[in-house]
């Protein structure tokens, strides 16, 4: 079965954790590290998520290795990669939050961004420039309603203002949205004011796209 099958929320989050860990460390996380990132104790549950991801073509589990997870490029699973289109839903703030506005457009993307529940947003502002995310860039996001600390997320504030920030958590119920620009300050919210709508996957520089 090829990549492109709909994942459950937990499977999708597990895949995001693996991708984020590989990007940071350049080697795969262990099942224990994935369990900790998911906030669960059972490595057996993690193993079921991993087997599901392998069955659906997202990863390969190698035998007799502790760090045995290898990502599989989705280009291997689709002959239609060059014609992939995903919806461009509107603009997302990387400065002060802005009103979320739906726009009915699509973008044709490379196979790098192939995957279920992906969508694109155009960046407005400069609060994430230290991450290499610039004004007018197109970002690719994975639809998600949860995230782990350190991920860059699409967050809806007070059900009306959307922003892109790195997320952190402070017990018992505080969410911190952190910019990547010294000119901006981190913002703290109670959990009930924030709705996570996606996790940052990658970007396209606007000069490579026709507007």
Cα 45 to Cα 43: distance, rounded to the nearest angstrom? 5
CB neighbour class for 164 (10 Å; exposed up to 12, middle 13-18, buried from 19): buried
| Beta strands 85-93 and 118-124, pairing class | parallel
Q: Report which secondary-structure segment, H or E, holds 154.
A: strand 152-157
Query: To the nearest 5 percent, what fractions of the chain are helix, strand and coil?
Result: 25, 35, 40
Residue 25: CB atoms within 10 Å:
11
Alpha helices for 26-145 (secondary structure H): 31-38, 43-55
The length of the chain, given as a count of residues: 211
Nearest to 109 by CA among 138, 137, 69: 138
Catalytic residues: 127, 165
Reported as half-sphere exposure (CB side, CA atoms, 13 A), residue 157 has a value of 20
């Amino acid at each position: 079965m090829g990549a492109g099958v709909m994942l459950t929320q937990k499977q999708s989050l597990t895949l995001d954790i693996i991708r984020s860990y590989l990007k940071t460390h350049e080697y795969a996380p262990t099942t224990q590290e994935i369990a900790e990132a998911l906030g669960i104790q059972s490595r057996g549950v993690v193993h079921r998520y991993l087997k599901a991801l392998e069955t659906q073509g997202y990863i390969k589990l190698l035998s007799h290795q502790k760090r045995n997870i290898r990502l599989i490029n989705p280009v291997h699973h689709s002959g239609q990669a060059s014609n992939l289109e995903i919806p461009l839903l509107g603009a997302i703030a990387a400065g002060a939050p802005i009103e979320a506005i739906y726009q009915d457009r699509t973008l044709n993307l490379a196979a790098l961004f192939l995957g279920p529940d992906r969508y694109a947003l155009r960046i407005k502002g400069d609060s994430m420039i230290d991450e290499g995310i610039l004004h007018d860039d197109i970002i690719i996001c994975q639809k998600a309603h949860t995230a782990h600390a350190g991920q860059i997320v699409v967050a809806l504030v007070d059900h009306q203002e959307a922003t892109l920030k790195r997320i952190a958590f402070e017990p018992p119920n505080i969410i911190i949205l952190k910019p990547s620009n010294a000119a901006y300050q981190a913002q703290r919210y109670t959990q009930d004011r924030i709705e996570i709508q996606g996790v940052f996957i990658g970007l396209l520089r606007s000069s490579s796209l026709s507007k």
